[in-house]
Structure 1
């Protein structure tokens, strides 16, 4: 391969590529490789261009053994970490004409793998805690507390609470899995959002009363229809209102408000806005970008005490996405929080 021909061959390749000749000098680099390693690499020894020990070992072995070698290369591009899978393959019939080094961006694949690992670890942790408590109480009831009626009643109450917590977690996991599987399929049925809101408020009013929260529903008197899944939208409203009651109880009031706009900015067309506004403690806005992550909690201990699984807002986000809507969270410490769902009218 000639030095004149090499650049034109690799110029159209959509990922970084370097050609290293038998004299161990860089014969050619395409534009993406130039962006990665700098513009002055052509003609220099590959050691002065690649520099990272793992990359150098990969190329050296491919040149010496005349066999393909593979390695991972981590770098930083525009303030983000990027992971490449690097393959150095010998050139020529007998592998004596040098090597071609190809960089494939596998960052997204790596991130998905990490998300799966984190998810498994979180689920294991969330299940292990109540299981450990149940096992401990069972052993106690089988042994020292066998004949202690008072202890037995107290332990059974705690065991029931932990079992309900596990049941909620499993239910939310199944719900999240189902919602994610359907996220790309937009619902086709017409549903009355106002009726769903009235039903959710009515269902949760006893909880609000027990928590000392005065709940008001505004703007949901007349029917308003959108394309949607009634069960999933009910789940969204139920989750948000229940969260508002539990975590905003200190404010003593909760407002659920629906407004309709002929030109909602989120869609540049007609749409609905549903706000769930509490006057509770609120939280630091620094948490907002992560609140819809699975198992993320502002206050883990308090959330578990209130029966939270850490999956509710993740489920809300995926359901809203399925309905081609938008989900927004606002909060000020000491002043309360507002959770807003935007839905397009169809």
Structure 2
């Protein structure tokens, strides 16, 4: 390479590294020569000197890059990544100068994840809401017709029906709130939270807020926390919701007069939140489906306790957004343990 070519390549690399959008420059042999910081953070494993095809192994993308390298011109490819979360990119591949047989190329990435997620959420929201709201709405309408007709002058019936209608209205409100919460979490699934959050402080806050519910069911909550703050990179509101859903479920579905154990720990660069109840446990066939939307082991009990069938789905999506994992362990007759494991931040004194 001549001195002029070296200088030109250095200038090009400097320009690309200053770009705020995800951009990758590869030479005629497919080796990464420059990439922007946004590209580094978007796709793990990218670095100068590496073969792009060894990092991004999608066959359609590799074929498009090869075609541009041989023929020049441009290609547009849509790429869907499934791991660690589903993301969709539109990649523009443009040929640059060549050596006579093959061309260098520049790749620019357009993140379509939020747009695709919004479209899917809109469809899912309509389907789920219409299905789950139909029963309480039909109940409310039926009572209204009765109050307007046969029970118009029946004071006792009016009081009883209005009480039931209020409960059905509250059920619909809870359902809409949970659907909106789930939609917001899914919408941001591809954006990893970065704010330091102390899980121990969240656990104390949630346990304090649920003491009235626990006393109502004569449940004892045992809180086991580490001596130091247990920090993760997270969204505080979502982690509050995660902790609240797990502990509230343990209180509601565990044994009346029983014990709920909340244990926070750290090991191997991970922080774990384990919530154990001493209830009747969960049969093995139900465990794989517990985090599905609207899946209920006992529909009547879930609705009686005010459940919407979305609590564990919300927990699962919060854990996935925080790049963690959720495990469920249970033996029938011996209770259940729900454990959320998240990447921990390095501990600091105090």
Fold equivalence (TM over 0.5): yes
- Counterparts in 2 of 1:251 and 1:332: CA distance versus 1, 3 Å: farther
Runs of 4+ in structure 1 over 4 Å off: 113-122
Match of 1:171 in 2: 177
| 2:141 aligned with 1:142 | no
* C-alpha displacement of 1:123: 3.1
- Tell me the matched-pair count: 229
Bigger CA drift: 219-228 or 330-339? 219-228
Q: Distance in 1 between matches of 2:290 and 2:303?
A: 15
Cα deviation, residue 334, structure 1: 1.1
Structure 1 position 318 matched with structure 2 position 317: yes
CA distance in 1, matches of 2:124, 2:272: 34
Q: Is 1:222 the equivalent of 2:228? A: yes
Pairs within 5 Å for 1:271-282: 271-282=270-281
TM-superposition CA deviations, 1:175-227 (whole Å, max 9, x none): 11100010110111111110000000000111010011111111155322111
Report the equivalent of 2:159.
Answer: 153
Say if 1:331 and 1:115 are closer, same or farther in 2 by CA, change over 3 A.
Answer: farther
- Shift of the alpha carbon at 1:275? 0.6
Matches within 5 A, 1:142-291: 142-220=148-226, 222-250=228-256, 252-261=258-267, 263=268, 270-291=269-290
Instruction: Tell me the alpha carbon deviations over residues 214-273 of structure 1, each in whole angstroms, 9 at most, x when there is no partner.
Output: 111111553221111100000000000110001003461111111121x1xxxxxx1111
Q: Is the 8 A contact 1:254 1:277 kept in 2?
A: yes
Using the alignment, how far apart are the partners of 1:225 and 1:117 within structure 2?
A: 36
Tell me the residue number matched to 1:131: 137
Deviation at 1:303, TM superposition (A): 1.0
Q: Please say if residues 250 and 279 of structure 1, whose CA atoms lie closer than 8 Å, have aligned partners that are also in contact.
A: no
Question: What do residues 87-106 of structure 1 show as CA deviations (whole Å, max 9, x unaligned)?
Answer: xxxxxxxxxxxxxxxxxxxx
For residues 98-154 of structure 1, the C-alpha deviation after alignment (integer angstroms, 9 at most, x for no partner) is xxxxxxxxxxxxxxx999988755432310100011001111111222222221111
Q: Is the 8 A contact 1:285 1:330 kept in 2?
A: no
CA distance in 2, matches of 1:202, 1:242: 12
Scaled by the length of structure 2, what TM-score is found? 0.62
User: Is this contact kept in 1: 2:266–2:344, CA < 8 A?
Assistant: no
| Structure 1 unpaired stretches of 5+ | 1-13, 16-112, 264-269
Within 5 A, what are the aligned runs for 1:298-309?
298-309=297-308
Structure 2, unpaired ranges of 5+: 1-58, 61-118, 346-350
CA RMSD of aligned residues (A): 2.2
**Which structure has the bigger radius of gyration?**
1
